[in-house]
Amino acid sequence: MARPSTYSTEVAENIFERLEAGEPLAAICRSEGMPAVRTFLDWVARDEKLAAAYTHARNAQGEWFDAEMDRIAKTAIDRDSAAAAKVQLSNLQWRASKQAPSKYGDRIDMTVDHTFDLAAVIDKRRQRALEGQDQPALPDASR
């Protein structure tokens, strides 16, 4: 069956539902009756409402990853399953941070609370210049 290249609300909604259930976009688009990934992303790029729905689905996918991480963490009962769970959790955590960065991404907070008052420095330099003490050094031409 040929892949659809013309936009369909039904197909887009199906993709969003599957994304929200944690399925990767590439896997969804490999399914029968689904557009190629590039085609779907072109649809999203051309339509603001579709782009908003896609963003919503990706954020919901982050929620699904969170629930899945909780489920995996609760099932690790011995050393071997804990090691496997750690790998799975790391992968899901990374994916959640990319799908819903505002909620699960790294938080970068750079707060600068230092102030520097240049007025005193400028006044001092101005006074020195008026007194002739603040002459710029000229390069030595003999070198």
Query: 94-130, pLDDT tens digit by residue?
Result: 877 777 777 777 777 777 777 778 888 888 888 888 8
Q: Is residue 65 part of a domain?
A: yes
Say if 124 falls within a structural domain. Answer: no
Q: Which residues of the chain have pLDDT under 50?
A: none
42 is in which domain, residue-wise? 9-104
| Number of domains observed in the structure of the chain | 1
Assigned domain for 136 exists: no
**Long-range contact pairs involving 16-24 (C-beta distance under 8 Å, separation at least 24):** 16/53, 16/54, 16/56, 16/57, 19/54, 19/57, 19/58, 19/60, 19/61, 20/57, 20/60, 20/61, 20/64, 21/64, 22/61, 22/64, 22/65, 22/68
CATH of the domain at 15: 1.10.10.60
Give a yes or no: residue 25 inside a domain: yes
In a domain, 56, yes or no: yes
